[in-house]
Chain A
Amino acid sequence: MQQADDQRPDAQALGFLTAVDTPAHGFLGGYLLVDLHGRPLEFHCTTPVKVSRAQQILYGATLPAHLHGRQLGAALLAEGTVEPAVVLTDLEAMLHVRPHTPLPVALVAAADSGRPDAVALGGAAVVPPPTTSSGDRWRAALESLAAAVDLREPFERIRAAIEEAQRH
């Protein structure tokens, strides 16, 4: 996703990006944009992507990068009309979206994940994005949100919404 030159990340918004692997339908991606109170601003979800056994073999180790990074992650981020200060994901595979977006993407892991590269924040361990041209602007927004919301909680909402979409 290309960011317009005159468009600056919204310090009042954060993005939550994840995917759900359902036995019946395959992978569905969800992208939730919230304000600093955790209230929803936008929600984007994909149609299911089913990966065949042959595709698994053909893509091999590159499958997560392609599926989560390009297919689901990049497609979802491209639809957001709000540019969040940072995009959080709870899937390591989703970090492969980084080459497809100028937005900083951080990983939210369980607080007891024991990752040495993580910082404790909002009841979780956050693996920060690599240093970007936008510096650490994302950090202030993330700390504000973490003061109000458990950073793992919005992913539960995305999963609940995807589940609802499947039922609908």
Chain B
Amino acid sequence: MESQPPAAAPSSLPPRRTWSATELTLPAPRVHRVDPRLPASAVLSVAVVGSRPVVTRLPLLDKLPTVESYRFPRGPAVASPPPAPRAPAAAPDRVPNMSTGSRTPRATHTRIAPPRDVVKLGERFFFLLQPDLETILDTSRLEFPRPPFPFQLDGIAFLVPRHSAVLADEMGLGKSMQAISAIRLLVRSGQARRVLVVCPKGLVSNWARELADWAPELLVAVIEGDPVRRRWQWSLPDVPVKLANYEVVVRDREMVAELGLNFDLVTLDEAQRIKNRSSQTSHAVRALRRGRSWALTGTPVENSADDIVGLFEFVAPGHLHERMSPRALGAAAADHVLRRTKDRVLEDMPPRLDRDAGVELTRHQRETYRLAEEEGVLRLAGMAREATIQHVFELVLRLKQICNFDTHSGESAKLERLEAELEEVRASGRKALVFSQWVETLGRLRSRLDRFGALEYHGGLSTQARDETIRRFRHDRHRSVLLLSYGAGAVGLNLQFSQYVFLFDRWWNPAVEDQAINRAHRIGAAGAVTVTRFVALDTIEERIDAVLRRKRDLSATILSEAGTPEASGLTVDDLFALFRLTPPGRAAAA
């Protein structure tokens, strides 16, 4: 097919392009046949005239975004003088050290994260937008006797924003120091004006000392003495911190209610005391009107999951209940519990050297022991269904006492071993702690260890006498040995200047033994701490030891997110099993 030019197009001019507002018309191009032998070109017509083009409007960035605004209260600390400008000679990239005021590079930035139960965005911003804790402490001009460890700053940052908190660090990591520093910050910022610290009676003077060391500017009233005096002390209006023991809180329960006292914060030390919800102590502390509830304990779960439920009845009533599975308990408690162990946070902690000293009873001891056990087991077996846990318990105690001292001859294989060890301790100028379950044993030991300047510390002494004992042991170099009962000496004391710990007999619960050991093995320990556990071989002590070793994982599930497994004590079944007996109830059920 031969193409023809359009008739309208002039033959001498190129085709003219015409545009209209809505269409485009392109004339067909002129095609010339160059060589008649070649096939003619085909011409395709493409219609380019279409509908009206679409106009797209692109939005510009002309609308301003919405701005959300949050304003924060200026606390009292803001009114303090601003830091002085840096001296020209100072290095520009160094910051003040909180302990000395000198400028050293700040290694850590500890953030105060908002707790999960703070839900309002503005309140969460309040925490998120605060400077790091190091800066807050620095600019608050708070002085410390020694710089806190980074994990202790984490603990302070954990406590400060929380109304419900359990600080469950392993013994010796400085729970009281962390709580005192957090209290200090709350008081300084005006968030707390009335704080109550409750601790065991034997630790009141220890707490008073710690408060004076770590918060010297805070006025502290120790609630003690007769009722008239206590009423006056409870009523003191301008004392931000009041310190009372559990017994006083129980005794003054009505007085506190009558006075209408309302605390911004109540802190319980050794809070495992309230794990039994039906106890008077638990009722009394739960009745305290308060804004914040903090609990300090190294053993939040001693025997069963119910322990932590009991603790939370004070910390966050109703948050946990005993029907929850251990995993659910752990999840629900997670944001309220902070648990660290020494091996995790203190790489530079002096080593703890543990050794079990198996002791062969003397010939007389062995004979007394054998007779007592045979007689006791026979008696229990004869009692059959009448045998109670109390009967078993009495037999265990009797046998353990024989393991310490032969009731007839007074011989003691353990004492002989201990004397030999203490000779070495004294010769090296060190100090040793010796723990026993019985005050009577401590008395016998003291009379035999007089040449080591042995001192006794137990619940039978007055608070003043105990304080004086600690003072003498600390400062008198001729006093090499301190004899302590587990009950009075296992908690709260700071005896880190002692390098040796002897467990003359074993407690029922390894957690309590750990507490005892941590009187010496704690922050500030000058060197390695050697722990010696005396175990009379082939006796009830060896069997108890084996049971306790197996039971160190009871509460692992509950605290798995926060720390290491707790140790738990002996149950009824365990005690009967020591003599290959079955509790009567279990036998019937079987």
Chain A contact residues, CB within 8 Å of chain B: 12, 29, 32, 34-49, 51-52, 54-55, 58-59, 66-67, 71-72, 74-76, 78-79, 81, 111, 120-123, 140, 143-144, 146-150, 153-154, 157-158, 160-161, 164-165, 168
Contact = CB atoms under 8 A, between A and B. Distances in A.
A29 B65 contact: yes
Interface in B84-121: 84-86, 92-93, 95-96, 106, 109, 111, 121
Given A29-B65, A161-B129, A43 B96 contact: no
A150 B135 CA distance: 9
B69 A55 contact: no
Nearest to B72: A40
A157 B128 contact: yes
Given A12-B82, A120-B92, A123-B93, A38 B131 contact: yes
B71 A49 contact: no
Contacts of B82: 12, 35-37, 144, 148
B125 A72 contact: no
Given A29-B65, A42-B69, A36 B74 contact: no
Contacts of A149: 131, 135
18 contacts: A37-B77, A37-B78, A37-B136, A39-B131, A41-B72, A44-B69, A45-B67, A46-B65, A49-B61, A49-B65, A55-B58, A71-B61, A140-B85, A143-B86, A150-B95, A153-B135, A158-B129, A164-B124
A123 B90 CA distance: 12
Contacts of A58: 58, 60
Given A39-B78, A157-B131, 4 more contacts: A45-B68, A74-B64, A143-B86, A161-B128
Contacts of B125: 40, 43, 161, 164
A146 B88 CA distance: 12
Nearest to A40: B129
Contacts of B124: 164, 168
Interface string B124-156: 111011111001101100000000000000000
Contact of B64 (A40, A42, A75, A81): A75
Given A38-B139, A75-B64, A153-B131, A147 B85 contact: yes
Interface residues of B, number: 43
Contact of B84 (A147, A150, A164): A147
B70 interface: yes
Interface of B: 58-61, 64-72, 74-75, 77-78, 80, 82-86, 92-93, 95-96, 106, 109, 111, 121, 124-126, 128-132, 135-136, 138-139
A147 B86 contact: yes
A49 B60 CA distance: 12
A59 to B, nearest CB: 7
Nearest to B131: A38
B137 to A, nearest CB: 11
Contacts of A36: 82-83
A120 B93 contact: yes
A157 B125 CA distance: 9
A150 B131 CA distance: 10
Contacts of A78: 67
A149 B23 CA distance: 68
Given A29-B65, A81-B71, A143-B86, A122 B138 contact: no
A71 B129 contact: no
B379 to A, nearest CB: 67
A146 to B, nearest CB: 6
